[in-house]
Structure 1
């Protein structure tokens, strides 16, 4: 039996799986989607190649695990940023600023790197369900502004935020984009 590096086998397995997810993320961000293979991920994690299949049945399963970890981290950071924000426009401003700052810091890079993944339909559906959970903070912010009942308002604001994320991802200053996004959402195209 191999040595375990945690108090219990379950904790050891969780640590090994987390190491594979971190290694997969690193390979994905450094070398792209095609470079994410069981061999490259296990080498990066310092594990035997056969270990991959103890934790993930397929590459899709690893990619979804990487995406889930990134989504959960993003969600936690947004929630932290919104802590203590005054409900209403102040909360909306903080949400927009945090979204653009986090994008500028590269925290949206996983989404871009995974966008070309040809995931199986069931795995893609799992991922989309979790991605939809990212809308919860936005829905809460909009509810404080009296807009939570409007599905179109949520979708339109999400679209504007998505366009802002794309701009920041392509090198536009995140502060300027945040200002434009906030102005567009709160005042429209004209004052």
Structure 2
């Protein structure tokens, strides 16, 4: 039973990503999620209490993956300057990803402060890597520059 719930939840999150990519914030409705997954609309509420909880779940799943991709790119570099470049390139790649843009846009409007704080914490590790690279380059104020 638990495995079935996990599969259904994953299908709902996949549908949410697709809806956000295709139609933006307005497209993410419980009716649309139900239609995409073949569930009754009332069944969607068994997994998520609100649209904000769907977005929060997307953030909890996707942001660490995106951060890990950028981190891996940075860690594969030999020099501090290359690490900074890898960070910038990774952020630019995310900025052009429609899934990322949609989740960022809706999370700014729909998430509570606790959820936003968890997202900031996920970004914090990346900022730490940038600070370290700036320190390695001899920057006089690496934390300020990375902010």
Name the TM-score, length of structure 2 as normaliser: 0.80
Distance 2:27 2:145 in 1: 39
Q: CA RMSD in A?
A: 2.5
Distance 1:32 1:84 in 2: 34
Aligned position for 2:38: 46
Bigger drift between 96-105 and 59-68 goes to: 96-105
| Equivalent pair of 2:74/2:82 in contact (CA under 8 Å) | no
TM-aligned CA distance change 1:117 to 1:105, over 3 Å: closer
Bigger drift between 104-113 and 14-23 goes to: 104-113
Aligned position for 1:101: 93
Quote how far apart the aligned CAs of 1:17 are: 0.6
Distance 2:68 2:18 in 1: 20
Distance 2:48 2:140 in 1: 38
Aligned position for 1:128: 117
5+ residue gaps in structure 1? 1-8, 156-191
Among candidates 72, 79, 88, match of residue 64 of structure 2: 72
Count matched residues. 144
Quote how far apart the aligned CAs of 1:33 are: 1.5
Name the TM-score, length of structure 1 as normaliser: 0.64
Which has more helix, going by share of residues? 2
Distance 2:128 2:114 in 1: 21
| Equivalent pair of 1:63/1:114 in contact (CA under 8 Å) | yes
How does 1:102-117 map onto structure 2 within 5 Å? 102-106=94-98, 108-114=100-106, 117=109
| Equivalent pair of 1:33/1:117 in contact (CA under 8 Å) | no
